Chain A
Amino acid sequence: MMDTLLDVEDLWVRFPSRQGVFDAVRGVSFTLGRERLGIVGESGSGKSMTGRAILRLIRPPGIVEAKQIALNGDNLMEKSEKDMRAVRGQKISMVMQDPKFSLNPVMTIGAQIIEAYRQHNRTNHADAYAKAVEMLQAVSIRDADRVMRAYPHEMSGGMGQRVMIAMMLIPNPQILIADEPTSALDVSVQRQVLDIMDGLVKERGMGLIFISHDLNLVADFCDRVLIMYAGRIVEVCEASKLSQAKHPYTRGLLNALPRLDAPRDHLEVLQRDPAWSTAPSVSGRVA
């Protein structure tokens, strides 16, 4: 059996409010090995909250509860905030949706990448600079020296996202959480950015959690897929066997996709069964 990097068991994310407690994530369990694990679901199904809870980045008043979130057998739930800071970036990192918002607008690209590296590595500026340039080249940026001096607003979406990937991989983490990393990009560069990310993740033997609302993309890109609905995992599937998925929600998502090879006159509207959101979460753990 492949080795388990991350073991998430019974994860809940709750938001107390005046009307009562809203559970954004409801008892989700899964493991991650050196693989590409997809998390798919419609908007609001709790995908981002799951990703952020792993990094313990849910801000108060949000509450995270879990039996364990174990990184190499080490339970992150028991760590102090200070110890978590050594995990973030260095062990687990995250790429967010839109580089327009996820990069600091008043700092140069270079300063932001160097900062990510030096957060976890004691080196002088020159070494960090060289390392950052090397990393930019690894994400296929040719004139790296110029990009180092540029500001985020001078960059296209595709470039910005490659910069994000470089920045998040520079401390050499074991796990990358990519939260809709291409949803804000032009279709023409989506594939390129994905390929760059995929190449680096494979080369470094990392685990990847790939969050998307696009079932097609996930089916193509991942090894294993968790399908989320209303804070729960409703089905777990090998990506290659997605067409054999049984859950009506998954089938609905599949049917809702337009297909070039089998055109249809109209797309089906997904019919939801209230029972789906009360059924217990399916486990995505691999023993």
Chain B
Amino acid sequence: MALADNNGGAQGRAPLPKWLTGTVKTLGSIAVTMLGLVFITFIIGRVMPIDPVLAIVGERATKASYDAVYLQLGLDKPLIVQFFYYVRDVAQGNFGMSLLNARPVAEDIARVFPATLELASLGVIFGVVLGVPLGVVAAVRKGSWIDQVARVLALVGYSMPIFWLGLMGLLVFYGMLGWVGGPGRVGIFYEDVVPTVTGMLLVDSIIDGNWTVFKDAFSHIILPASLLGYYSLAYISRMTRSFMLEQLSAEYITTARVKGMSEWDVVWKHAFRNIRVQLITVIALSYAGLLEGSVLTEIIFSWPGIGSYITTALLAADMNAVLGGTVVVGLIFILLNIASDLLYKVFDPRAR
């Protein structure tokens, strides 16, 4: 019987438990990918025509203070040793000092990243909550008016420049109607009112039980989050539609109908279960894109996130800040990838 075939393979030594080898493999791949990423940022830092010593001591420093910093940064050591030091520092969360504000880059990132995380998370939640059902309905009612509406909605999402939509949104909902808060994360009176725990204002104000701040922060985030949500909705709903169309023409769907199941159950209990794995990839991609920091959105809405942080640093040739930001964004990508791999195994028995 075919069921018995599964036990072939491993012979001899008792095999290690599967979860253990799996965890080791995952951690190994995180380490290798991170090392590669750090290596690349290290090289970029070296080839940039910016003297890191001058950047610290300034143009008019004495030869003695220049040399002191030169030695302190370990620039007299071979490149490979320098790389080793760099890796050691990054592993400890030390990205060096920012040139712009003379603060540790790590502290800056700890401040700006939660702002992006909050905005991106809300955006992707919008995109998923609205985009997935829209895509499913568009597939089930293919060719109907609702499918056409979904198509136009996505097309507009694909083709409309984000800065235009953002400015229009601000003009209408903030300027004319006054329904939402303006640029920034929170009104000026509410800044630094709730203690920072996660760095995400919505979460921190809930923890503090301060609903006034929560409401104000929400009124500020709603417009940029909807905007990002709209873009991810456009992508997610199109992909959902095409995944669903493929599954709905599969033979097991006929089987479900032969059983006498309702159309609702056929769609959600059978077809939808089979697109979850593909959907995870699409959602993870969409989320990663938003987490990278949507630079334009952050600039239009004066949102102090990682996208505008890296951009500002880049324009000021603040290499430590740029590289630190890049490593963090890279880490996010890797973690999201691993999370979606793990979810595959939950949703698809063939991937176990």
Give A residues with C-beta under 8 Å from B: 52, 55, 57, 85-90, 93-94, 96, 98, 101-108, 115-116, 119-120, 143, 146-147, 150-151, 153-156, 159, 164, 167-168, 171
Contact with A along B230-264 (1 / 0, CB 8 A): 00000000000000000000111011111111100
A-contacting residues, B164-201, CB 8 Å: none
CB closest residue in chain B, given A168: B258
Q: Which of B258, B276, B348 contacts A57 (CB 8 A)?
A: B258
Q: B: which residues have CB within 8 A of A?
A: 1-3, 6, 250-252, 254-262, 269-270, 273-274, 276, 347-350
Contact partner, B6, options A94, A106, A154, Cβ 8 Å: A154
Closest residue of chain A to B275, judged by CB? A106
A101 to B249: give the CA distance in the assembly, Å.
11
- Complex contacts, B347 vs chain A, CB 8 Å: 106
- The reply to whether B270 and A104 contact each other, CB–CB distance below 8 Å, is yes
Neighbour of A153 across the interface among B254, B260, B270, B350, CB < 8 A: B350
With CB as the reference atom, state the residue of chain B lying closest to A96. Answer: B251
- Give 8 pairs: A residue, B residue, CB < 8 Å, sorted on A: A55-B257, A55-B258, A88-B258, A88-B260, A101-B251, A105-B274, A171-B259, A171-B260
In the complex, the chain B residue whose C-beta lies closest to that of A170 is B259
Query: Which of chain A's residues has its CB closest to B347's CB?
Result: A106
* Residues from chain A with Cβ under 8 Å of B1 in the complex: 143, 156, 159
Please name the residue on chain B nearest to A112 by beta carbon: B255
* Min C-beta distance of B276 to chain A, whole Å: 8
Check A88 against B257 for contact (C-beta < 8 Å). Answer: yes
Measured CA separation A120–B258 after assembly (Å) = 12
Interface contact B273-A104, CB-CB below 8 Å: yes
Q: Which residues of B contact A101 (CB under 8 A)?
A: 250-252
Q: What is the distance, in angstroms, from B348's C-beta to the closest C-beta of chain A?
A: 6
Contact B258 A115 (CB under 8 A): no
Q: Is the CB of A89 within 8 A of B259?
A: yes
Do the beta carbons of B252 and A94 come within 8 Å of each other? no
Which of B255, B257, B350 has the most C-beta atoms of chain A within 10 angstroms of its own C-beta?
B255
A96-B254 in contact given A106-B274, A150-B3, A159-B1 (Cβ < 8 Å): yes
A119-B260 CB under 8 A given contacts A101-B251, A104-B255, A106-B347:
yes
Residues of A within 8 A of B258 (CB): 55, 57, 88-89, 93-94, 168
Q: How far is the CA of A143 from the CA of B1 in the complex (A)?
A: 10
Q: Is the CB of A106 within 8 A of B2?
A: no
**A96–B259 CA distance with the chains assembled, in angstroms:** 12
